[in-house]
Structure 1
């Protein structure tokens, strides 16, 4: 039997402890915009998820109210965003700094440069350059930000 195809990624889902706090964070950090008509509600009308659109992400981001799951995900780095160049990464560093968003320094990765930012639930969001340098084994390590 032939393997069926995948059409792409429909959406990403992050468990969060507080919908409004996370919406505020992702709005500032990534320019996310809530799509109210896609809010998820229980039959009794209780709101339990926001759907966000982020320019150039290529898919939606769902923020789902689930405090217990969000607590267990602290320290995870579930997604790495692409940025074009090292200079763009430095601009992200400066932007995060100016907006009081916890973040790492710029690190040297295996083939490019990266940094990580922390969302309100302690999840680490990575940014990695498409610009490359020669493959190196002298890449940065940091137990907190990189898990190594």
Structure 2
């Protein structure tokens, strides 16, 4: 057996523009920048922001790396849990108020799902803990799921 792990220390997303991404994560997820944790080069320039995101359970680092950010466009590296389908409705209302494009509530393999993209095209998924049975066919053809 390997030694014990103690959860996830933090998530890291490459971004093309720190300020633009910060505004997006503030508006979409209610993130808050922890300025005292900014990562700086020796010349004082900032290359990463650390964010506190309510309910995430860990910190989110936005790391300036335009090339890596471009390669992640269309990819969905993290799926966030929400309680149920009613919660997804509240999220779609919130995203609408924030002016953030998103999918409709989709039927996923086991539950319901809403997808939206950050400024670099990385897709974030909100997935319900509430499940459904096999009688509901998944929205496999949705461009929000296929990426096409």
Instruction: Confirm or deny a common fold (TM above 0.5).
Output: yes
The CA deviation string for residues 49-74 of structure 1, in whole angstroms up to 9 with x for no partner, is 00000111100000001111111110
Q: Provide the alpha-carbon RMSD of the alignment.
A: 1.4
Distance 1:109 1:136, change over 3 A: farther
What's 1:63 paired with? Answer: 62
What's 1:119 paired with? Answer: 118
CA distance in 2, matches of 1:56, 1:24: 18
What's 2:31 paired with? Answer: 32
Unaligned 5+ segments in structure 2 are none
Q: How does 1:10-25 map to 2 (within 5 A)?
A: 10-25=9-24
CA distance in 1, matches of 2:48, 2:6: 24
CA distance in 2, matches of 1:3, 1:122: 36
CA distance in 2, matches of 1:142, 1:15: 28
CA distance in 1, matches of 2:24, 2:132: 32
What's 2:96 paired with? Answer: 97
Shift of 1:143: 5.2
What's 2:77 paired with? Answer: 78
**TM-score, L = length of structure 2:** 0.94
CA distance in 1, matches of 2:17, 2:120: 9
Shift of 1:102: 1.5
Shift of 1:90: 1.1
The CA deviation string for residues 112-134 of structure 1, in whole angstroms up to 9 with x for no partner, is 10010110000100000111111
CA distance in 1, matches of 2:7, 2:63: 21
Q: Runs (4+) of structure 1 moved beyond 2 Å? A: none
CA distance in 2, matches of 1:84, 1:10: 23
